[in-house]
């Protein structure tokens, strides 16, 4: 028996370290690495079933071309010739910018980023900016701290209080849970702030059911109480912050009562929460991404960041306002990966459909999609289908005929984890690089993206690309040069390893912030900050929240890859009764954007007038983004899925 080390490639906070036992070329056991301080020997159902997904009978195992509406198998040679010729024709007749390259995070491998280098060699193409995922929060923290860094999970054990604000780690970041429970066992108070009493809230010491999008108001109310009670850290503010006077003046002018009313919490609750956060240092905030998928998502995060600075809970063990951790990306040569991009057009990612259908009608001639099920995952599905379908030439590289692939002209099948060597660098949370070994051969007609783009480049005679990205070894050595320099070793030395970068366990410890002023920058006043959020529309009295599913990674399902059943939507008993509905009943959810057939289920933890469903249902089973609005947040070009109002119609 031989044991191999690899990692989970999914777009998940945890990026687990995986061990695979092989007996006579067959996998005999898949398990979490018990030596790894984050994975702790445990994998979730998704990680345990990565192999089952890749072995699924519906996996695409040869290039496909749509001929008269039907998928037909073609040879790689034919696929490369036809796609290569089409890309050359687009460039000749319309310019390379008439092509969109749309990529997401379907696989966190470094070699899988070869697509970007290819398209920049091709001449530069139109690409998205902003995010469906975390954009508002990233921009908020960049404005406040100058960068987005998080504490090492072990450091949370030093906190006296931990606020989990708009994240549901019991579903989305399961390896954070043991740290939270260990902290609790040592006396740390665990607090959850969420409109839904989540599985995480169920074991917290305190739970606050804030109204959707009211987090900014809540943070302002807390800041006001902290200022009134003189619980702020005057020395931290004086030495390391910019903009405090303006911030204070803004907060001083607000009415506490009004702020508290907007949060949906009682005065007692807001005072209690403020005391929990501000009375015993260190206090730690762990932010999620659910609370920034709103029009005001970015500024709401900025007000929460301000609480950290106000109380001096920044740059110390057990503190921090932890949103994400981009520290390891600094050890990658992005210039090489991106291949010296020429200035090319960009579009705001959440506004893809508007860009294609309205702003550039008829101009986009082709699209290549990698690592994404974009049509399903964008807001406003009907418009996304229309926009994607309107593009004359469409290629999708994926493992399955996803909803996006279904609408394409060609599908190219690519390798997955276990079938290729790579380095996974994509954790949004911890600072580990993990080598992933090739354990088995892919199906005979399936190729790695590196080879796919090589074959295209050969056909298209892209000499520079073939020279600079000649071999995976050259690619990895160049892309990882900053890491190898930092470690003082060769690529071969880090193969087979999981490497922890030690430098960033407590960000901002030296209080040298990465902003231009070198200080933490308080949000300065903006007029629209106090406007009523989620303006109520009597025609659509319910708020529709689409959250991340526990057992799936967006639309990547495990075992039943298409998750063949009607989507479920959850409400509390009061809402059910108000709408004269019954548990288990089928109903139609209707928003200004579209309709969605669902099965209604009860969840007492859901706030009043809120309907919750989980994203990722395939379109044959409806898809939650039929309801969600196209739009962007205040900063960071973030999708605003949760600004969605709806009503329920019984069937």
Ligand X SMILES: Nc1nc2c(c(=O)[nH]1)N[C@H]1C(S)=C(S)[C@@H](COP(=O)(O)OP(=O)(O)OC[C@H]3O[C@@H](n4cnc5c(=O)[nH]c(N)nc54)[C@H](O)[C@@H]3O)O[C@H]1N2
Distance between CA atoms of residues 487 and 500, nearest Å: 11
CB 423 within 8 A of CB 7: no
Query: Is 322 a residue that touches ligand X (CB under 6 A)?
Result: no
CB 291 within 8 A of CB 215: yes
120 binds, among ligand SF4, ligand X, Mo ion, none (CB under 5 to 8 A by kind): none
- Quick one: tokens of 633? 């947040």
By residue count, the chain amounts to 651
Query: Is 398 a residue that touches ligand SF4 (CB under 6 A)?
Result: no
Query: Is 547 a residue that touches ligand X (CB under 6 A)?
Result: yes
Distance between CA atoms of residues 341 and 336, nearest Å: 9
Distance between CA atoms of residues 354 and 387, nearest Å: 8
Residue ranges in 381-488 assigned as alpha helix (H) = 381-389, 403-406, 449-459, 463-468, 472-479, 481-487
Query: Is 15 a residue that touches ligand SF4 (CB under 6 A)?
Result: yes
Residues in 27-66 that interact with ligand SF4 by CB under 6 A: 43-44, 46-47
Query: Binding segment for ligand SF4 among 5-13, 371-379, 388-396, 593-601 (CB under 6 A)?
Result: 5-13
Query: Binding segment for ligand X among 160-168, 219-227, 235-243, 580-588 (CB under 6 A)?
Result: 160-168
15 binds, among ligand SF4, Mo ion, ligand X, none (CB under 5 to 8 A by kind): ligand SF4
**Cα dihedral 22→28→29→33 (10° resolution):** -10
615 binds, among Mo ion, ligand X, ligand SF4, none (CB under 5 to 8 A by kind): ligand X
- Quick one: tokens of 154? 């072990």
Q: What is the largest CA-CA distance in the chain?
A: 73
CB 437 within 8 A of CB 22: no
Give the rounded distance of the alpha carbon of 227 from its chain centre: 34
Report, in Å, the least distance between residue 550 CB and ligand SF4. Answer: 10
Select from 60, 117, 143, 174 the one that contacts ligand SF4 (CB under 6 A). 174
457 binds, among Mo ion, ligand SF4, ligand X, none (CB under 5 to 8 A by kind): none
Closer CB to ligand SF4, 17 or 591, in the complex: 17
- Quick one: tokens of 284? 């730690």
Select from 8, 301, 405, 414 the one that contacts ligand SF4 (CB under 6 A). 8
DSSP states along 146-184: SS-----GGGGGG-SEEEEES--HHHH-GGGHHHHHHHH
Gyration radius from the chain CA atoms = 25
Query: Is 427 a residue that touches ligand X (CB under 6 A)?
Result: no
Query: Is 106 a residue that touches ligand SF4 (CB under 6 A)?
Result: no
Size of the site for ligand X (CB under 6 A): 61
- Quick one: tokens of 40? 């702790």
Report, in Å, the least distance between residue 47 CB and ligand SF4. Answer: 2
Query: Binding segment for ligand SF4 among 12-20, 84-92, 461-469, 602-610 (CB under 6 A)?
Result: 12-20
Closer CB to ligand SF4, 50 or 140, in the complex: 50
Residues in 551-570 that interact with ligand X by CB under 6 A: 552-556
Interface positions with ligand X (CB under 6 A): 11-13, 104-107, 112, 132-134, 165-168, 171-172, 193-196, 198, 210, 212-213, 215, 288-291, 293, 370-374, 377, 397-400, 402, 414, 416, 545-550, 552-556, 615, 624-625, 628, 641-642
């Amino acid at each position: 028996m031989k044991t191999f080390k690899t990692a989970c490639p999914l777009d998940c906070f945890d990026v687990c370290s995986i061990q695979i036992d092989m007996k006579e070329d067959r996998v005999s056991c898949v398990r979490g690495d018990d030596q790894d301080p984050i994975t702790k020997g445990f994998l979730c159902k998704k990680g345990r079933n990565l192999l089952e997904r890749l072995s699924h009978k519906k996996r695409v195992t040869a290039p496909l071309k749509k001929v008269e509406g039907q998928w037909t198998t073609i040879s790689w040679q034919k696929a490369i010739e036809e796609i290569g010729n089409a890309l050359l024709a687009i460039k000749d007749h319309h310019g390379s910018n008439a092509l969109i390259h749309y990529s997401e995070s379907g696989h966190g491998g470094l070699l899988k980023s070869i697509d970007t280098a290819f398209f920049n060699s091709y001449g530069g193409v139109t690409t998205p900016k902003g995010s469906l995922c975390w954009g508002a929060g990233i921009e908020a923290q960049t404005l406040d701290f100058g960068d987005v860094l998080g504490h090492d999970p072990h450091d949370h054990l030093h906190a006296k209080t931990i606020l989990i604000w708009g994240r549901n780690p019991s579903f989305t970041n399961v390896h954070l849970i043991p740290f939270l429970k260990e902290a609790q066992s040592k006396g740390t108070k665990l607090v959850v702030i969420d409109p839904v009493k989540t599985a995480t809230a169920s074991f917290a010491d305190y739970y606050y059911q804030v109204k959707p999008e009211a987090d900014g108001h809540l943070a302002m109310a807390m800041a006001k109480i902290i200022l009134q009670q003189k619980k702020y850290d005057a020395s931290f503010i004086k030495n390391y912050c910019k903009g405090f006077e303006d911030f204070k003046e803004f907060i001083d002018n607000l009415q506490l009562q009004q702020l508290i009313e907007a949060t949906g919490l009682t005065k007692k609750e807001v005072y209690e929460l403020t005391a929990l956060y501000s009375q015993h240092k260190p206090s730690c905030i762990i932010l999620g991404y659910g609370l920034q998928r709103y029009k005001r998502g970015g500024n709401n995060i900025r007000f929460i960041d301000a609480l950290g600075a106000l109380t001096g809970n920044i740059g110390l063990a057990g503190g921090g306002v932890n949103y994400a951790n981009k520290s390891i990306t600094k050890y990658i040569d992005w210039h090489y990966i991106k291949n010296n991009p020429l200035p090319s057009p960009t579009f705001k990612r959440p506004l893809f459909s508007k860009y294609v259908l309205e702003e550039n009608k008829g101009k986009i001639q082709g699209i290549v999609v990698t690592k994404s099920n974009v049509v399903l995952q964008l807001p406003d599905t009907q418009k996304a289908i229309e926009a994607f379908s309107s593009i004359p030439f469409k290629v999708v590289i994926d493992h399955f005929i996803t909803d996006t692939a279904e609408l394409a002209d060609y599908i190219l099948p690519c390798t997955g984890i276990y079938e290729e060597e790579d380095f996974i660098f994509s954790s949004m949370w911890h600072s580990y690089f993990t080598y992933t070994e090739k354990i088995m051969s892919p199906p005979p007609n399936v190729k790695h993206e590196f080879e796919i783009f090589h074959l295209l480049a050969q056909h298209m005679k892209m000499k520079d690309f073939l020279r600079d990205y000649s071999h995976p070894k050259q690619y990895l050595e160049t892309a990882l040069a900053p890491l190898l320099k930092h470690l003082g070793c060769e690529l071969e030395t880090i193969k087979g390893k999981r490497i922890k970068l030690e430098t960033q366990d407590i960000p901002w410890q030296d209080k040298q912030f990465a902003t231009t002023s070198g200080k933490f920058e308080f949000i300065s006043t903006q007029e629209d900050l106090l406007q009523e959020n989620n303006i109520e529309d009597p025609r659509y009295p319910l708020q529709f929240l689409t959250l991340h599913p526990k057992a799936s990674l967006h639309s990547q399902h495990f075992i039943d890859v298409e998750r063949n059943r009607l989507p479920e939507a959850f409400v509390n008993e009061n809402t059910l009764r108000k709408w004269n509905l019954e548990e288990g009943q089928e109903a139609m959810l209707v928003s200004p954007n579209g309709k969605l057939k669902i099965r209604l289920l009860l969840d007492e933890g859901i706030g009043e007038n809120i309907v919750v469903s989980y994203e990722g249902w395939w379109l044959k089973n409806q898809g939650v983004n039929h309801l969600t609005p196209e739009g962007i947040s205040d900063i960071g070009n973030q999708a605003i899925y949760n600004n969605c109002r709806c009503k329920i119609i019984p069937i």
